[in-house]
Amino acid sequence: MTGAGNWTWLIEGRVPTLVDAGTGDPRHVDAVAGALRGGALSQVLVTHGHIDHASGAAVLAQHMPHARFLKMAWPERDALYPVMWHPLADNDILEAGDTSLLALHTPGHSPDHVCFWHEETRSLFGGDLLQRGGTVWIPGNQYGDMSAYIASLERMLALEPARVFPAHGPVIDEPMRLLRNYIDHRREREEQVIDALRQGDATPHAMTMRIYKGLNEVLVPLARESVAAHLRKLERDGRARREGDAWHIMDP
């Protein structure tokens, strides 16, 4: 699920700042220490509470005793990573390096997801909001929220970013195009779910088998979560309803 691994981003300067904590791999901790050349890390800004982004916090805290850890609160999840978390809120302005970043709550992939925006360079530290060469998983039964995700994509599109530093994959130099592609892709997927409902599919599994024909068996549960996320959105939009385990279309 993490592809070739994940990035953390070190911003050097007066307030040395790391974006995302990684997983506590000693090679990562050594690399951060090496890049700081003996300097102290001031803070770690965590984009969200998934393990590949947050689970390294405790190990980093041992090696970087001056660092503060900041993220938007997700209490059940944060308790898994035993450091003192300072809560971030939407629109918080944070000193970082020799400049400042704006925290932007961008839920959908997870409820606590935050991107960090650098206005001067129109750069966004995007966490798991988007990545090149794929789509982002919205786990419908594990706190993912498709309505919120699409709203987050639209909010980031409105910023007109020039560059996105993602947590996975290469730097995104044409984020506007990718954001629009993502939004279009979700709309198309939603139409496919509506079509499957019209054809009489009642369960996320049946819809998954119709929409993702030929999908590797291992990936079916993930695709089912994504379909579930679309169904929840349609339910909220008044376009689908659930009776027990069966979903129905609500055509006007």
CB of 45 or CB of 234, closer to Zn ion: 45
- Is residue 233 within 8 Å of 147, Cβ to Cβ? yes
User: How far apart (Å, rounded) are the C-alpha atoms in residues 155 and 118?
Assistant: 15
The neighbour count for residue 32, using CB atoms within 10 Å, is 22
Residue from the set 128, 145, 190, 225 that interacts with Zn ion by CB under 5 A: 128
Q: Name the minimum Å distance from CB 240 to Zn ion.
A: 26
Q: For residue 29, how many other CB atoms are within 10 A of its CB?
A: 17
When asked if residue 71 is in the footprint of Zn ion (CB under 5 A), the reply is no
Specify the residue, 128 or 225, whose C-beta has the smaller distance to Zn ion: 128
Residue 174's Cβ-side half-sphere holds a number of Cα atoms within 13 Å equal to 7
Please tell me the count of residues contacting Zn ion according to CB under 5 A: 2
The residue number with the shortest CB distance to Zn ion is: 50
201 is catalytic: no
Which of the stretches 30-38, 115-123, 125-133, 153-161 binds Zn ion when contact is defined by CB under 5 A?
Answer: 125-133
What dihedral do alpha carbons 129, 112, 45, 125 form, nearest 10°? 20
Kindly indicate which of the ranges 3-11, 124-132, 168-176, 178-186 contains the residues binding Zn ion, using the contact rule CB under 5 A: 124-132
Residue carrying structure tokens 């898994």 = 80
* Smallest distance from Zn ion to CB 149, Å: 12
| Nearer to Zn ion among residue 33 and residue 137 (C-beta) | 137
Catalytic option among 20, 52, 78, 201? 52
Nearer to Zn ion, 104 or 209 (CB): 104
Half-sphere exposure of 179 (CA within 13 A, CB side): 24
- Asked if 50 touches Zn ion (CB under 5 A), the answer is yes
Q: Rounded to 5, what percent of the chain is helix, strand, coil?
A: 35, 20, 45
Catalytic positions, written as ranges: 52
Can you give the binding site for Zn ion, defined by CB under 5 A? 50, 128
